[in-house]
Chains A and B, each alone.
Chain A
Amino acid sequence: MENDPDKPPLFKSWSGIYFLVIATLAVLVLIFSLISKVYQ
């Protein structure tokens, strides 16, 4: 098991999936900021 190739699904490398996570967080912060502004 430990010798399985360590590759994420759908992405060429782990950097791609890490970028997806950080980009999702950035989008969430943007949405939260907009909500705060619209409903203040």
Chain B
Amino acid sequence: MRAVDWAVLLATLVLIVAYGIWRTRGIRSVDAYLRGGSDTRWLTIGLSIMATQASAITFLSTPGQGYEDGMGFVQFYLGLPIAMVILSATIVPLYKRLKVYTAYEYLESRFDLKTRQLTAFLFLLQRGLGAGISIYAPAIILSTVLGWPLHLTNIAIGALVILYTVSGGTRAVNQTQTYQMAVMLGGMALAFFFVLSRLPANVSFGDALGIAGALGKMKVIDYSTRLDTRYTFWSGMTGGLFVALAYFGTDQSQVQRYLSGASLTESRLGLLFNALVKVPMQFMILLVGVIVFVFYQFNPPPVFFNEAELNRIRSTPVAAELQEIESAYGRAFLEKKNVLDEWLSTPHWRSSSPAGRDLKSVEAKLRGIRERAKDLIAKADPRAERNDADYVFISFVLKHFPPGLVGLLVAVVLCAAMSATAAALNALGTTTVVDFYQRTVKPGASNDHYLLAAKLFTVFWGIVGVLFAAFASLLDNLIQAVNILGSIFYGPMLGVFLVGFFLKRVGGTPVFWATLLAQLIVVIVFRYSTLGFLWYNVIGCAAVVVLSLGFNLKRATQAVT
């Protein structure tokens, strides 16, 4: 990065953090710290909800996923708007009426203390790990491509986030997220137009979509009913709906955002803003990746996007083999360019045309060579990561973006990391204080005592996140790792809440044991089946509901006999 990039990056990060701390200075009450004083307007809530969900992984992995697999990932989000409507109509009025600080407080009023604390514990477990990944994911990628020291990057991200989250609590998180989201949306919009401007002059936007379509990247909606296909219309509308219901309805990092609303109306509007904006935003981020893919149809791409890894391999005994693969890749690229020119000069709206078929065949050849390179990298270093999808976008940015814009895009990634981590630490600290410390360990203490406890627990979770990030290793595709982790816990958590809302006769003990058993079932399915991870949510949720009914029936039968 050049000096101007560093200036843009540091100015963006420091100004947002400093302004957030300054705007929220002098918080003295626990209510203001944990619930933001309940005076937040809908636009801040909406942007804050989006910023909480949009981690750095969103901006690193999603374009990479668009590049590799096309637009299909957007289907994951199709259930989200429906979930927002359901939550706005049901759970938000309930939480606001009960004036709760955490989602899990409701469970004690409906069931009992052990069910509340079990669900809160599941949240702490999955969000604690998630916070570590949200720090680690950008740190590993930025340290690899920019040569930053990994542990220092982890600590720098973690320390900045801890600083303002501890200082201003929920209000600081909401305030900073608003500006961070503005940077993220602005940065990605600029990136989209810049990538488009780098396409050859004779290639229109329509041509670019045509090329992407001919090479299988524009299948946005897949109506197939195969259960092992990860992203389809049906998995999005069911599994995606369950994920969104669970995430926005029971995950304290999101619940805390809309609980800070000045009124029920503001909280509802914040959620519905997310319902309207989220799907188009994800579509656009994926499209950036697809357009980068089109760019690389006219410009030679690297055979492997993690160039630091590639350079390491160049100094091993397989260097000659790698060079041969890179030469073959270069020749295949030129071959494809010729086919592409022919395809562009003929009516090409059908990929089944002869030129379209040639294009597909030469693309398959290039993919095959890329796979050979990945195999070679794995052979030379079995610990090396074969998956380079997370490096596609950042490597494109560093190579092709002008000075200044590079700094802004790195700021986008770091803003996203900080916003997601801050919401997680804020929620982890709040849940630890409200659902465990205040409820069980030290009830009846003063406002100042709980304020201090909330700050200390936030620091504690921040340190846990940084430590987890320090010991984590790169997991498959990072965004999928986060989604899989969430899906393992969200189903049972959602199940508890659904039983609470709709099965009025089921008591605390049946739902408690049902939740434990359902969690075990989901872990077994995750470990031993090839089922798409979105279905874990459905299975976990259904297991809690069915087992709760079963245990309740058994108790009722025993009571009668």
Contact residues of A with B, CB < 8 Å? Answer: 1-2, 4, 6-9, 14, 17-18, 21-22, 24-25, 28-29, 32-33, 35-36, 38-40
Contact = CB atoms under 8 A, between A and B. Distances in A.
B211 to A, nearest CB: 9
Nearest to B267: A6
B96 interface: yes
A24 B81 contact: yes
Contacts of B212: 39
A1 B262 contact: yes
Interface of B: 38-39, 71, 74, 78, 81-82, 84-85, 88-89, 93, 96, 99, 209-210, 212-214, 218-222, 233, 262-265, 268-269, 272, 275-276, 279-280, 283, 349, 351
25 contacts: A1-B39, A2-B96, A2-B264, A4-B265, A6-B268, A8-B269, A9-B269, A14-B88, A14-B268, A18-B88, A21-B272, A24-B276, A25-B81, A25-B82, A25-B279, A28-B279, A29-B233, A32-B71, A32-B283, A35-B220, A36-B219, A36-B220, A38-B213, A39-B213, A39-B218
Contact of A21 (B71, B78, B213, B276): B276
Given A25-B279, A32-B74, A17 B272 contact: yes
Contacts of A21: 81, 84-85, 272, 275-276
Contacts of A39: 209-210, 212-214, 218
Given A14-B88, A39-B209, A1 B276 contact: no
Contacts of B219: 36, 40
A27 to B, nearest CB: 11
A19 to B, nearest CB: 9
Contacts of A25: 78, 81-82, 275, 279
Given A18-B85, A21-B85, A24-B276, A7 B221 contact: no
B210 A32 contact: no
Contacts of A24: 81, 276
Contact of A29 (B38, B84, B221, B264): B221
A25 to B, nearest CB: 5
B263 A4 contact: yes
Contacts of A35: 71, 209, 218, 220
Given A17-B272, A18-B88, A1 B220 contact: no
B275 A40 contact: no
A9 B59 CA distance: 33
Contacts of A29: 78, 221, 233
A7 B269 CA distance: 10
A33 B38 contact: no
Contacts of B263: 1-2, 4, 6
Contacts of A18: 85, 88-89, 272
The 7 lowest CB-CB distance pairs between A and B, nearest first, are A39-B213, A39-B218, A32-B220, A25-B81, A4-B263, A18-B85, A32-B221
Contacts of B209: 35, 39
Contacts of A38: 213, 349
A36 B269 CA distance: 32
Given A6-B263, A36-B219, A36-B220, 14 more contacts: A4-B263, A4-B265, A6-B93, A6-B264, A17-B272, A22-B81, A22-B82, A24-B276, A25-B82, A25-B275, A28-B280, A32-B283, A39-B209, A39-B212
Nearest to A9: B269
Contacts of B264: 2, 4, 6
Nearest to A25: B81
Contacts of B220: 32-33, 35-36
Contacts of B84: 21
Nearest to B236: A29
Nearest to A7: B265
Contacts of B99: 2
Given A18-B85, A40-B351, A33 B221 contact: yes
A32 B77 CA distance: 13
A37 B449 CA distance: 61
A40 B218 contact: yes
Given A18-B89, A29-B78, A36 B262 contact: no
A24 to B, nearest CB: 6
B220 to A, nearest CB: 4
A8 B296 CA distance: 47
A22 to B, nearest CB: 7
Nearest to B93: A6
Contacts of A40: 213, 218-219, 351
A36 B268 CA distance: 33
B435 to A, nearest CB: 23
A14 B264 CA distance: 12
A6 B213 CA distance: 46
Contacts of B218: 35-36, 39-40
Contacts of A6: 93, 263-265, 268
